[in-house]
């Protein structure tokens, strides 16, 4: 019995260590049409929940209105967090185009919203993308998966002990 309690303790520590690593940062991306202009926008960013910082912010605009415009901020910076939501505001100039980007991340669900504009002296386009939650956080998913795996291990061990060979 003592052997199984050691195994259970080590297993719980292992799952907890994996959960902490898995929920430390997220790489999020999106794509969709520009509003008010002809073209598409795609973007990505990394959010680190251990220090509430944003990095690797990238936006790419394609289409006939703005041509191909790529903007990025690899350093990013700290988010402004309040009431469980972290915000990052970014503005940059690429040629004659001015780009504004606002990213909001809900800490409890990992859901994000990325909205912004691209404009120059004669055109203006915007985007507003909200991610769709997938039914729970990564931490909860890892715990439920671990519970299922350890339950299966326990049941298979129990079934082996009850079978008698003649």
- What CATH number does residue 46 fall under? 2.40.160
Q: From CA 92, how far away is CA 59, in angstroms rounded?
A: 11
| Residue 9 counted as domain residue | no
Structure confidence at residue 22 (pLDDT): 43
Closest Cα partner for 30 from 117, 126, 112?
A: 112
- Spatial neighbors of 33 by CB under 8 A, at least 6 apart, are 39, 40, 41, 127
21: confidence class by pLDDT, cuts 50, 70, 90:
very low
| Residue 67 counted as domain residue | yes
Q: What is the DSSP string of 11-40?
A: HHHHHHHHHHHHTSEEEEEEEEEPBSSSSE
Domain that holds residue 29: 25-132
Structure confidence at residue 27 (pLDDT): 74
| Residue 127 counted as domain residue | yes
Number of domains in the chain: 1
| Residue 164 counted as domain residue | no
Q: From CA 120, how far away is CA 87, in angstroms rounded?
A: 25
pTM across the whole model = 0.65
| Residue 145 counted as domain residue | no
| Residue 157 counted as domain residue | no
| Residue 8 counted as domain residue | no
In tens, the pLDDT along 77-110 reads 988 999 999 999 999 999 999 999 999 999 888 8
Q: Three-state DSSP class for 49?
A: coil
């Amino acid at each position: 019995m003592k052997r199984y309690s050691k195994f259970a303790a080590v297993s719980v520590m292992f799952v907890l260590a994996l959960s902490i690593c898995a929920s430390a940062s997220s790489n999020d991306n999106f794509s969709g049409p520009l509003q008010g202009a002809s073209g598409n926008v795609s973007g990505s960013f990394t959010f680190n929940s251990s220090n509430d910082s944003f990095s690797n912010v990238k936006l790419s605009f394609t289409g006939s209105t703005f041509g191909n415009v790529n903007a990025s901020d690899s350093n990013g910076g700290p988010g402004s967090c309040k009431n469980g939501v972290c915000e990052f505001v970014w503005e940059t100039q690429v040629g004659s185009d001015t780009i504004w980007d606002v990213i909001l991340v809900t800490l409890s669900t990992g859901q994000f919203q990325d909205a912004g504009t691209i404009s120059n002296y004669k055109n203006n386009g915007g985007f507003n993308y909200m991610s769709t939650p997938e039914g729970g956080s990564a931490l909860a998913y890892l715990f439920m998966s671990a519970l299922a795996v350890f339950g299966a291990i326990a049941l298979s061990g129990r079934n082996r002990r009850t079978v008698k060979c003649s």
